[in-house]
Structure 1
Amino acid sequence: MANKFSAAVVYAVFSSFALNFFYQPGHVYASGATGAAQVVTELVARISGHNILPISASLILVNAPLFILAWRGIGKQFTVYTVITVVMSSVFIHFIPVTPLTHEPVINAVFGGAIMGFGVGNAMKSGISSGGTDIVSLYMRKKTGRSVGTLAFLVNGVIIFTAGVLFGWEYMLYSLIAIFVNSRVQDAIFTRQKRLQVMIVTKNPELLTKKLVNRFKHGVTILHDAEGGYTHTSQTVLMTVITMYEYQEFKDIIQKYDEHAFVSISENVRVLGKFAEVED
């Protein structure tokens, strides 16, 4: 719990620095929910002629319907930590003043993207979400077992197109640079699609299999009558493949339902055929 809360604080600080020191002064748009909040704020200002809706408020408005989706379809604990992360980020964005460090848009795009990418990557590494498209992706994966990789691409496409319409097409290119740097730094810290092969030696195979399949929608291979080399007792080995994004939740399930299980994890595995998806 403390680890997740501290990760939420780190994300809030880094996202506010990226937004108020680089993105806003450089008219550079972020990806995901933060970029969508920038779009909403700017459109309201253009239509009304006044800055009546700060980005901090827009960020909560953009995420509000997604909180409901997460609460109903993903889980209460996940939703609580996501709300904490988004609200803290909004508070920091509101109270940290917009401070232009440079008027060079490329520098704003590169450094803003790097700082935001570090915050997001650190949050994901700790098993929390910064909201936005992550909620929809996790919801769809839980309900169908399939990812929706094109969702973030479409949302970011709308965001950078809006940046071009509002500020000029060169700012669309700067926003593309920011999103690219963001993704590269994020991947350097935490690669959500990296696949892990896990082998679990357990005395509670039925319970663990049920919990893992229900939660991740991946198949689990069961190897019966495995014998311990030291104790010579009969054990069961479960083998499955998960993504790095699912690792923290996987670890929580193991600790909750069989804290005495022995787990071996192999990184960077290659999978041929379907990624062990099962239907409800």
Structure 2
Amino acid sequence: MSGTSRSYLGKGPTFTVNIAYTVWWNLLLITVGGFIATIGIKSIAVPHELVPGGIFGLSSLLYYTTGKLNPGWINLLLNIPLFLFAWFKVSRRFFLYSLYATLITTLFYEFISISIPIQNQLYAAVASGVVTGFGAGIVLRSLGSNGGLDVVAVYLFQRFNMGIGRVYLVFNTLLYFGSLMRLQLDVIIASLIMVFITGMIIDQTLSLFSQRKVVFIISNFANEISNDILTQLKQSATFLKGFGAYSRKEKNVLMTVVNNVQLKKLEEITFTHDDEALFIVENTFSVTGSSFSRRKIY
């Protein structure tokens, strides 16, 4: 997650505060994201008896089956062993933020009621997936999680780089197979659609504002282009040694990383110097270090 840094100068030494690691910013992300996710579940999914993803999905299934408590309180109880896992396997800060996320979501679910009159079950599945995924993704941009399966997903992502959306998809597939005896097949299929969309939106929300373009430029004017990158774009660049297969001559390959706004300017710089340059662009969703985002530490 990228964060904004502020530098403070005083009589003492200079120090930098990264907003992404401040308490107020993380609580804001968790509160806003938890509210949005609650609307997606309570106002859209539950009226159609759709089963949301993760532990909350299991909670909803238990609620549909027993009619006891409500999914919010069942979810809180099921989270207890996962909170212990977060305390020992991730970090205490992650545990506290995740605990806050679960508590605030439970309170939102208990006291907030917003009617969204969607009649079609398929439309409800799509809408719930988008809204819930966006809310859950906002929470995951903090240093905490939504609790539940997020705790395990974040741990697997941190240790094995396993995508959070993918972890949800595997768990929920097993959950829906287990619910075949209780729910109609149409409801299960609609729930799978909802969860698939939720996972996609979570991943997109996590990459929001972090998308970058890796650009490789092969040109006989690489030095001139690199100078303009440094002065006009205020970005760094790296020379890679290349060897032409046809010319059998060494040449510099220029590599740099820019955002979407800077890309067109870089293209203009390149072809202004050399209209025969080779301009190669690749999408990347994770650029950490230097002037880009800091490595996220839970």
**TM-score (structure 2 length as normaliser):** 0.59
1:152 to 165, 168, 171: 168
Q: Distance in 2 between matches of 1:167 and 1:14?
A: 26
Please, which moves more after superposition, 52-61 or 80-89?
A: 52-61
Aligned to 1:86: 102
Deviation at 1:95, TM superposition (A): 1.5
Matched, 1:24 2:38: no
Q: Distance in 1 between matches of 2:155 and 2:43?
A: 33
Aligned to 2:199: 183
Matched residue SS, 2:201? helix
CA contact (8 A) 1:25 1:103 kept: no
Q: Which runs of 4+ in 1 moved over 6 A?
A: none
CA contact (8 A) 1:86 1:130 kept: yes
Deviation at 1:28, TM superposition (A): 1.1
Flag the structure with higher helix content. Answer: 1
Report the AA paired with residue 58 of structure 1.
I
CA contact (8 A) 1:117 1:181 kept: yes
Question: Where does the alignment leave 5 or more consecutive residues of structure 1 unmatched?
Answer: 46-50, 197-242, 251-261, 268-280
1:2 to 21, 24, 35: 24
2:34 to 1, 9, 12: 12
CA contact (8 A) 1:20 1:99 kept: no
Once the two structures are superposed, what CA deviation does each residue of 1:9-43 show, in whole Å capped at 9, x if it has no partner? 11221122111211111111111122121122223
Deviation at 1:138, TM superposition (A): 3.4
CA contact (8 A) 1:163 1:171 kept: no
Matched residue SS, 1:165? coil
Once the two structures are superposed, what CA deviation does each residue of 1:180-214 show, in whole Å capped at 9, x if it has no partner? 2212222222149x899xxxxxxxxxxxxxxxxxx
Report the AA paired with residue 83 of structure 1.
L
Deviation at 1:151, TM superposition (A): 4.3
Matched, 1:35 2:57: yes
Matched, 1:265 2:292: yes
Aligned to 1:215: none
Once the two structures are superposed, what CA deviation does each residue of 1:82-132 show, in whole Å capped at 9, x if it has no partner? 000011001111112374612310111111111101101111223321122
Matched residue SS, 2:292? strand
Aligned to 1:130: 146
User: Structure 1 residues 95 and 244 mapped into 2: Cα distance closer, same or farther (>3 Å)?
Assistant: farther
CA contact (8 A) 1:163 1:175 kept: no
Aligned to 1:173: 189
User: Structure 1 residues 106 and 124 mapped into 2: Cα distance closer, same or farther (>3 Å)?
Assistant: same
Q: Distance in 2 between matches of 1:107 and 1:163?
A: 21
Matched residue SS, 1:167? coil
Once the two structures are superposed, what CA deviation does each residue of 1:215-265 show, in whole Å capped at 9, x if it has no partner? xxxxxxxxxxxxxxxxxxxxxxxxxxxx979x9xx8xxxxxxxxxxx8233
Deviation at 1:148, TM superposition (A): 5.1
Matched residue SS, 1:71? helix
Deviation at 1:159, TM superposition (A): 2.5
User: Structure 1 residues 184 and 148 mapped into 2: Cα distance closer, same or farther (>3 Å)?
Assistant: closer
Once the two structures are superposed, what CA deviation does each residue of 1:37-94 show, in whole Å capped at 9, x if it has no partner? 1122223x1xxxxx22211111111211100111112111110000000110011111
CA contact (8 A) 1:164 1:171 kept: no
CA contact (8 A) 1:137 1:147 kept: no
